[in-house]
Amino acid sequence: MRRSVREAIVGFSIVGAIAAFAGTMLWMRGIRLGAETWTVTVRFDDAGGLDARSPVTYRGILVGSGPIDQRHPAGGGGHARDQ
């Protein structure tokens, strides 16, 4: 085997190992590239009737539901998950 071929194999192996390590670290931290769900946390002074599992719309289009995890006594609060 020629020296340049061996060097290329070693180089690609190192790059592949680094990419696999980085991918594993991202996966273990729960980071997903291109995820189709978003978690949005908002706080309102007055939520205006937003209750648990009530539909959340944006410009008239259903974008998710509003499962409210916690309410803050001073200022309200909520947690919505996009679909």
Reported as a single tens digit per residue, the pLDDT across 61-82 is 887 777 655 555 544 445 555 5
Predicted TM-score (pTM) of this structure: 0.42
CB count in 10 Å sphere of residue 48: 7
**Please, what is the end-to-end C-alpha distance for the chain in angstroms?**
54
pLDDT for the residue 70: 55
SS3 for the chain is CCHHHHHHHHHHHHHHHHHHHHHHHHHHCCCCCCCCCCEEEECCCCCCCCCCCEEEEECCEEEEEECCCCCCCCCCCEEEEEC
Read off the pLDDT of residues 13-35 as tens digits, 9 standing for 90 and up. Answer: 999 999 999 999 988 887 777 76
What is the band of 7 on the pLDDT scale with cuts at 50, 70, 90?
very high
